[in-house]
Amino acid sequence: MQVSKSLKRLIYWELGIPISLLVIGIYHGLIQTVYRAGLLQDVSFLKINYYQGLTLHGVINAVVLTTFFAVAFGHATMTYFLKREPKKNLSWISFALMTTGTVLAAWAMLAGKASVLYTFYPPLKGHPLFYLGAALLIVGSWIPLYDWAKMYIAWKKENRDTKTPLAVLGTLINFIIWFVCTLAVAYEVLVLLLPWSMGLADVNVTLARTLFWFFGHALVYFWLLPAYIMFYVMLPKLAGGKLYSDLAGRVALFLFLLFSVPVGVHHQFSDPGIRQGVKFFHGMLTYAVAIPSFITAFTLAASLEYAGRTRGSKGWFGWMFKLPYLDKSRYLFAYFISGLILFIFGGLTGIVNASYSLNNVVHNTAWLPGHFHMTVAGPVFLAIIGMSTYLYSTMSGKKVFLPKINVIIPYLWMIGVLIFSTGLMWGGLIGEPRRTNMGLTYLNPKSNLYHPEWIPTTTLALLGGIIMFIAGMMFIVVFFGTMIRKKTAEGLLDLPVSEAYHDEKRIAIFDRFKPWLVAMAVIIVIAYVPAIIDANTNNGSSAPRFAPENPIPETLTK
Ligand code: HAS
């Protein structure tokens, strides 16, 4: 479909800015593995401190890239399926706010004034402009929801009995989850963190953490849902088959609406300020939020099996060998399948985290980054970079630069992540901590904290990190190489759309938002009122102090 120049330009900027920053983000990922393997035994490298680099890595890759991409992809899907464009002025205002927010936060991080990690909750304290930047990025990303909702209502009036396109449903659900969960972090930033960072007030650490995690776990589904939209809507077609069940996709999306938010306390199982019953309830709801992913796993596997059988496969598993893994013209398939393979392990490790007693073993160990690199750096990252190349190349009418390299990038990345995460998880199981400059202590033979049993685990993570870095840089070359090519075709917004194998007839409840929104609100109130009461009562002021260079509390080292 032909779209306006303004929309094209907007989408190019929304992809181009975070992908340029990604060079810094990926570089700091590599440097992390070098510190942790003990090859760097210093507080900083090239004048960037360990925690400063880790903050840049997390904020750029997990917050800036994902938010800009979700907005850009939302514009593309809403325009394509509703056949109308978002309002020009609103979209550019949203872009300007997000970009200003990113510049402010980037300045604070690069100046070394906000080494507060991507979770930015206290007691780590950042410069007020970092928090203001985060708030602007969030507020900017709210604006499109308002506009898309109006586009959807207008479309619905003309198409009362037509099922809402799956991609539209997914985009709206995703941004509703985003709007609800960011209310808590906006409150945390504006009411608790900003006055505290300006020296005007004290802060309740437990409350700030609880508000952050109200946002923080829903955030991971905000990252995931654009990828799920691609898997349901595009993957079966790319594989040469059909989506096994359209209704399964709708059920999964609405379940995310119900359960994405009221699970945040599973990040606080070890917080003493929150009572057991609240933790149990959030733990149970965490199992519930895994259900839509199980539905997705079976639906996609059935869709891929159908594609393989259509291409002549035999036997139970023959379909796996008949898929277009290395087809340059359908390179998105390679990005999606690599992400899905990683997500099998990312999902299973998530279930381990959710299990209260097992969580005691893995919490705050290297296991955790092992888990989340197979989720956010798995299906999410691969879908983002594959779709960014795809959107740019089709909308600009430019051929992809180095197409053979482009199709192997996701496999190389997948191998890198598998090795990297294995190293981290193995290390985590034998006590290796996360977020620690181990080159200074545990991996430094001169330190009395030296732990040689973590040499193989950190070396494995280093090897995986190097492979990921190479794949990441190959993507940067392909993306910007495509940008500087000459246009060879008419630039169109054209998304691959799968037919459904079971195209179930419209069921009203799966085409209406109101009942689900009410249910969502009720579950959130039940899950979070007691948690907030607990956090208000127990402010965590008696927790021991740590210094950045030492993983042992100050009281024990004096
Ligand atoms: Fe998680 C911590 C539990 C999913 C990200 N998670 C994190 C953190 C991040 C993160 C970033 O309960 C760290 C936060 C921090 O900095 O402290 N997580 C879960 C559970 C799920 C889950 C139960 N996480 C995600 C996703 C993420 C993500 C998705 C990012 C996008 N996570 C936790 C818990 C913690 C946690 C605790 C806190 C731990 C602690 O102590 O701090 C579930 O949603 C997972 C369900 C997924 C599945 C997998 C389905 C598989 C599919 C692939 C099918 C493959 C096919 C291909 C079809 C059940 C869909 C077949 C074809 C072939 C050819 C083979």
- The yes-or-no answer on residue 217 being catalytic is yes
In our burial notation (b when 16+ CB lie closer than 10 A, e otherwise), range 223-254 reads bbbbbbbbbbbbbbbbbbbbbbbbbbbbbbbb
- Tracing tokens 């709801």 back to the chain, one arrives at 285
Q: 75, 209, 373, 451: which is the annotated catalytic residue?
A: 373
* Ordered DSSP codes for 66-107: HHHHHHHHHHHHHHHHHTSPPPHHHHHHHHHHHHHHHHHHHH
Instruction: Please give the average per-residue pLDDT across 79-105, as a whole number.
Output: 97
**Cα angle 252, 254, 256; round to 5:** 70
Model confidence pLDDT, tens digit, residues 137-192: 999 999 999 999 999 999 999 999 899 999 999 999 999 999 999 999 999 999 99
Query: For a substitution probing ligand 1, which of 219, 293, 319, 374 has the most ligand atoms within 8 Å of its CB?
Result: 293
Model confidence pLDDT, tens digit, residues 351-387: 999 999 999 999 999 999 999 999 999 999 999 999 9
Q: Is 548 inside any structural domain?
A: no
Taking 80 as the threshold, does the pLDDT of residue 548 lie above it?
no
Closest listed residue to residue 242, CA positions, set 310, 169, 298, 164 = 310
Lowest mean pLDDT among 40-49, 140-149, 216-225, 536-545: 536-545
Q: 217, 250, 267, 330: which is the annotated catalytic residue?
A: 217
Instruction: Please give the average per-residue pLDDT across 95-114, as a whole number.
Output: 97
Q: Is 267 in the pocket of ligand 1 (CB under 6 A)?
A: yes
In our burial notation (b when 16+ CB lie closer than 10 A, e otherwise), range 505-524 reads eeeeebeebeebeeebeebb
Query: Binning pLDDT at 50, 70 and 90, where does residue 248 land?
Result: very high
Lowest mean pLDDT among 11-15, 310-314, 409-413, 517-521: 310-314
How far, in Å, CA of 140 to CA of 143, rounded? Answer: 6
Ligand 1 centroid to 372 CA: how many Å? 7
CA distances to 43, 262, 442, 459 from 35, rounded to whole Å, are 9, 36, 11, 11
How far, in Å, CA of 234 to CA of 1, rounded? Answer: 17
Taking 70 as the threshold, does the pLDDT of residue 558 lie above it?
no
Model confidence pLDDT, tens digit, residues 122-133: 999 999 999 999
CATH of residue 396? 1.20.210.10
Give the tokens for residue 435.
Answer: 């977020």
Q: Is 552 inside any structural domain?
A: no
Q: What is the mean pLDDT of the chain?
A: 96
Q: Is 363 in the pocket of ligand 1 (CB under 6 A)?
A: yes
How far, in Å, CA of 8 to CA of 492, rounded? Answer: 9
Q: Is 556 inside any structural domain?
A: no
Expressed as residue numbers, the domain containing 76 is 5-312+322-537
Closest listed residue to residue 402, CA positions, set 324, 480, 492, 488 = 480
pLDDT at residue 552 in the model: 84
Query: Which amino acid, one-letter code, is at 331?
Result: Y
How far, in Å, CA of 417 to CA of 433, rounded? Answer: 19
pLDDT at residue 546 in the model: 80
Ligand 1 centroid to 89 CA: how many Å? 37
Q: Is 555 inside any structural domain?
A: no
- The yes-or-no answer on residue 209 being catalytic is no
Ligand 1 centroid to 275 CA: how many Å? 25
Closest listed residue to residue 112, CA positions, set 177, 47, 191, 196 = 47
Q: Is 553 inside any structural domain?
A: no
Q: Is 278 inside any structural domain?
A: yes
CA distances to 6, 83, 321, 395 from 2, rounded to whole Å, are 12, 10, 37, 9
Q: Is 544 inside any structural domain?
A: no
Instruction: Please give the average per-residue pLDDT across 252-258, as a whole number.
Output: 98
Q: How many CB atoms lie within 10 A of CB 490?
A: 7
How many Cα atoms within 13 Å fall on the side-chain side of residue 121? 21
- Tracing tokens 């998880």 back to the chain, one arrives at 425
Taking 70 as the threshold, does the pLDDT of residue 14 lie above it?
yes
Q: Is 320 in the pocket of ligand 1 (CB under 6 A)?
A: yes
Model confidence pLDDT, tens digit, residues 20-68: 999 999 999 999 999 999 999 999 999 999 999 999 999 999 999 999 9
Which phi and psi angles does 507 have, rounded to 5°? -110, 120
Q: Is 260 in the pocket of ligand 1 (CB under 6 A)?
A: no
Q: Are strands 500-502 and 243-245 parallel, antiparallel or unpaired?
A: parallel
pTM over 0.85: yes
Q: What's the start-to-end Cα distance of the chain, in Å? A: 68
Q: 435, 450, 501, 506: which is the annotated catalytic residue?
A: 435
Closest listed residue to residue 80, CA positions, set 174, 158, 150, 7 = 7
Instruction: Please give the average per-residue pLDDT across 436-444, as a whole number.
Output: 95
Give the tokens for residue 524.
Answer: 């959130």
Verify cis geometry, omega within 30 degrees of 0, for the bond prior to 123.
yes
Taking 70 as the threshold, does the pLDDT of residue 4 lie above it?
yes
- The yes-or-no answer on residue 373 being catalytic is yes
CA distances to 192, 503, 506 from 212, rounded to whole Å, are 11, 40, 38
Q: 434, 442, 469, 528: which is the annotated catalytic residue?
A: 434
The H-or-E segment that residue 500 falls in is strand 500-502
Model confidence pLDDT, tens digit, residues 287-317: 999 999 999 999 999 999 999 999 999 999 9
The number of distinct structural domains making up the chain is 1
Q: Is 547 inside any structural domain?
A: no
DSSP tally for the chain: helices H, then strands E = 19, 4
**Cα angle 167, 169, 173; round to 5:** 115
Q: How many CB atoms lie within 10 A of CB 116?
A: 26
In angstroms and rounded to an integer, the radius of gyration of the C-alpha atoms of the chain is 23
At 49 the three-state DSSP class reads strand
Those residues with Cβ within 8 angstroms of residue 47's Cβ, 6 or more apart along the chain or in another chain: none
